[in-house]
Amino acid sequence: MEITCVNAVFFSAAGNTKKVVTELAGRVAGLRKVPLEICDLTLPQDRISQGYDEKQLVIFGTPVYAGRIPNKLLPFVQTLFQGNGALAVPVVTFGNRSYDNALLELRNELALHGFHPIAAGAFPAQHAFTEKLAKGRPDETDMKLLHEFATGIADKVLHLTEIPDPVSVPGTEPISAYYTPLGTDGKPAVFLKAKPKTSTDCTDCKRCASLCPMGSIDYDDPASVPGICIKCQACVKACPAHAKYFDDPAFLSHVEMLEQNYTRRAEPEVFF
């Protein structure tokens, strides 16, 4: 099947999903000798309607939040994108625990909106909450598999003669509720209202406000977070003065629980 363009579409507050999706899409574009176009959904001002057609391939990636597509991103996935017959590859990145139903949910949403998912992948990435889980990933071994995945996608596109059924991926339907974070005591850790704090080391550079994917940090007063916080850690990781941090006890207990229970090396999984 002929394609005229490969599109990399992603939400990537921590940068890992961007790395996976752009590398994958770039490889496929190179193999098929077609242009690569990039659509970054991370910042609010960049979320605009996108339409595709049957001559395009869309590599669509999101991180996994509590086992699903991030709940604050889901409405944009559902309303901004129309496949109009485009081929698609849903991709999720997860912080070494599990991707649960996220890949299935993303595949389903793309299929519902006019895309034809022909392959799919789930890749471990360093956890947003802690460097102790999947540190440095995706690493060299992950990227080797990703490059093989790209070759497989390019070959499948080349040899398609008709539109197949949506690629089969793990998960349970109907899509279950979001994973309930647990603390070290094994009980639910409730930290929905937790927001980053700001130390006196803040230099008022406003980088955190510029990079918040929810637009929730006050640009004039970066210590103030009047909007919703999704705990993506973009502000914490981007602060050059290391002035942003979380001190919510329930949140910290959940992070400690993850560090205690999910240290094994999770492996990437790909599906055709």
268 pLDDT band, cuts 50/70/90, is very high
Delimit the domains of the chain by residue range: 5-176+265-271, 197-247
Euclidean distance between CA atoms 90 and 233, whole angstroms? 24
Q: Span 164-185, mean pLDDT?
A: 96
Query: Quick one: pLDDT at residue 265?
Result: 97
Output the pTM of the full model. 0.95
93 pLDDT band, cuts 50/70/90, is very high
Whether 9 and 59 have beta carbons less than 8 Å apart is answered as yes
Q: 5-176+265-271 is classed in which CATH architecture?
A: 3-Layer(aba) Sandwich (3.40)
244 pLDDT band, cuts 50/70/90, is very high
19 pLDDT band, cuts 50/70/90, is very high
The encoded tokens of residue 114 equal: 């006019």
DSSP 208-269: HHHH-TT--S-SS-TT---S------HHHHH-TT--EE---HHHHHHHHHHHHH--S----E
Euclidean distance between CA atoms 4 and 131, whole angstroms? 39
Euclidean distance between CA atoms 180 and 242, whole angstroms? 29
Tell me the average pLDDT of the chain. 97
Query: Quick one: pLDDT at residue 87?
Result: 98
Q: Span 44-48, mean pLDDT?
A: 96
166 pLDDT band, cuts 50/70/90, is very high
Residue 200 CA: distances (Å) to CA of 197, 203, 222:
10, 8, 12
Q: Span 1-17, mean pLDDT?
A: 97
Q: 197-247 is classed in which CATH architecture?
A: 2-Layer Sandwich (3.30)
Query: Quick one: pLDDT at residue 250?
Result: 98
pLDDT digits (tens, 9 = 90+) for 99-137: 999 999 999 999 999 999 999 999 999 999 999 999 999
Query: Quick one: pLDDT at residue 169?
Result: 98
- Please work out, in degrees rounded to the nearest 5, the angle formed at the alpha carbon of residue 256 by the alpha carbons of 65 and 228: 40
Query: Quick one: pLDDT at residue 266?
Result: 97
Query: Quick one: pLDDT at residue 143?
Result: 97
